[in-house]
Structure 1
């Protein structure tokens, strides 16, 4: 049985003089905070990763404009929302209940992740952390841990976009609109470039962008409720519109069922197929279940009655003076002549002008 115990960090204690190193034992620096700063790197790192950063001392006044990439406790009152955070990006994110839940978590577990800011015009502009700063304010915090980066407007907006796209509560529809905005801004020209910028698959980019071409009534529903359907259901809707171009209203109703009746997303195709089949049966029944047609002579005496059932025509000889056998022969002769005329018309060579 091994008597070895897990190692403990003692270099800090040795450096502070609280513990003395034994003779011949060298002081380890493996766990110390690095003294040199890494490059800021790609936008994905700025918004999504946590590199090893220098935690600068706040003992002396800071020149925030020269800070490149450091962690600091900054005044909450100096932190402002990003001007690149659109109203659409903010919908539903800052409701009091969700902010209270986040504040409760931060009060009990502390601030697990710093906000990301840049110094602009005498204040800190948020790149990531719009909900955390609101939670901090709701608790009356005066300081918040922030990662201060040096970015121009373009890099700041791209960093914000990448951060917003990566939020776990974000929807496929909102991501689609974010991709379209990034493309319109010139930050990415192709779907491959969008996939690289947002660190996702090109196939996912394509499916999400396709959501923006759904029928207008469905887009309006998504604007009001962005999590109504995902890109998989949107793909099914596109297929149905292509297969049944005359049934767009029915497809829209299928989506309305999701909104109003909480129907499952994957029920769209089956529900549309069921409605089309049911409606066709009713239409066929109305078309074929017609009342018998009465054929009379000039004196309004009933001679025949005819009825259509599906593709079956039934002719009843009503007048007693008429011989059914002779009437049948006349019918056969009529239809034979019609068949011959059709054959002649279809076999006649086309004249060339």
Structure 2
């Protein structure tokens, strides 16, 4: 039986491949008594196998507590299931909340950089309307991260324009920079400096401010979440 947590449906187009090749990656289960098993990780593969009318699929049986099962399931699904960017961010946030992990802990467990974890979690700050586009696949994580440079009230309008004009991620970054700057004053900042700040922010997952000096310059980093410090 599946674990008691919501999960998005497997794309029907994948069923033909599952039917022809079977499930290659075993699901992970644990016994719950009476000859029954609970799926810890791989529920999408199990549902796809049902849709493909497979009689059996490979499974690994593990003994673990409820807490261990939840942690293992979330980590396995982040690493192996075809989660959309928002689902992945939600799973990461759940791990942080329920197991008192830090961004550094998550990065180590998942084999990613801390900046990558922080950048993924930032997607949760976007409005619900933008979340829907992420869930449907209309917007990529790269598009969504570019929109984070804008005030909340401008993010939805920018997302609609991205979809309407079918903009690339790079074009979306330029759009966001232009909207964030507003009308260009006479003493406008150097666009190269602004572009550099955006690139640094994208890599580190932090707000970057570059202050040019007569000799060299200064880089200031700021953040909202203490875990990003």
Checking the alignment, whether the CA contact within 8 Å between 2:146 and 2:176 is kept in structure 1 is no
The equivalent of 2:140 in structure 1 is 229
Equivalent residues in 2 for 1:1-353 (5 A)?
80-83=1-4, 86-87=5-6, 90-91=7-8, 93-106=9-22, 111-122=23-34, 123-167=36-80, 169-185=82-98, 187-214=99-126, 216=127, 219-226=128-135, 227=137, 228-230=139-141, 232-241=142-151, 249-272=153-176, 280=183
> Can you give the 5+ residue segments of structure 1 that lack an aligned partner in the other structure?
1-79, 242-247, 282-353
Could you report, residue by residue, the CA deviation over 1:115-140 in whole angstroms, capped at 9, with x for unpaired residues?
22111132011122323333443454
The equivalent of 1:350 in structure 2 is none
Checking the alignment, whether the CA contact within 8 Å between 1:176 and 1:211 is kept in structure 2 is yes
Flag the structure with more relative contact order, 1 or 2, with Cα contacts below 8 A and sequence separation at least 6. Answer: 2
Query: TM-score with structure 2 length normalisation?
Result: 0.65
User: How much does 1:200 deviate?
Assistant: 1.9
1:261 & 1:146 partners in 2: Cα distance?
A: 45
Give the number of equivalent residue pairs. Answer: 181
User: How much does 1:203 deviate?
Assistant: 0.9
> Can you give the 5+ residue segments of structure 2 that lack an aligned partner in the other structure?
185-229
2:148 & 2:25 partners in 1: Cα distance?
A: 41
Give the 3 Å change call, closer, same or farther, for CA 135–270 of structure 1 in structure 2. Answer: closer
Return the structure number with greater helix share: 2
Checking the alignment, whether the CA contact within 8 Å between 1:118 and 1:125 is kept in structure 2 is yes
1:145 & 1:169 partners in 2: Cα distance?
A: 18
Could you report, residue by residue, the CA deviation over 1:134-164 in whole angstroms, capped at 9, with x for unpaired residues?
3443454433332111111111111110111
- Could you list the structure 1 runs, at least 4 aligned residues long, displaced by more than 6 angstroms after superposition: none
1:140 & 1:121 partners in 2: Cα distance?
A: 25
